[in-house]
Amino acid sequence: MVELEKVQHLLAMACPKDLDEITPEKHLISDLELDSFGLMEAVMAFEDEFGIEIPDRDLRLLDTVQDVLVYLEEKTGTGHVPAGVF
């Protein structure tokens, strides 16, 4: 299971927002103000943390924090998003 808190911490290292502002419905670019460098930094952190590879073509799938959670669940094979995250 991919924990929301882990994703929040990884995103907080790449964006100019506080941890409590990183919620599932937030958009990575418009709400969390990730630029292209920040997005790549977050992607590399996800890859390192979860032992996966995120191809460039998949970046278009990652619009919100919730999208990141679902994507990571699918890529890691855990397939379970915690209740209350949606």
- At the top level of CATH, the class of 4-76 is mainly alpha
Q: What is the pLDDT of residue 78?
A: 72
**Quick check: 86 pLDDT over 60?**
no
The model's pLDDT over 57-79, given as tens digits with 9 standing for 90+, comes to: 999 999 999 999 999 999 998 76
Q: What is the 3-state secondary structure (H, E, C) of 5-49?
A: HHHHHHHHCCCCCCHHHCCCCCECCCCCCCCHHHHHHHHHHHHHH
The model's pLDDT over 24-43, given as tens digits with 9 standing for 90+, comes to: 999 999 999 999 999 999 99
What average pLDDT score do residues 51-59 get? 96
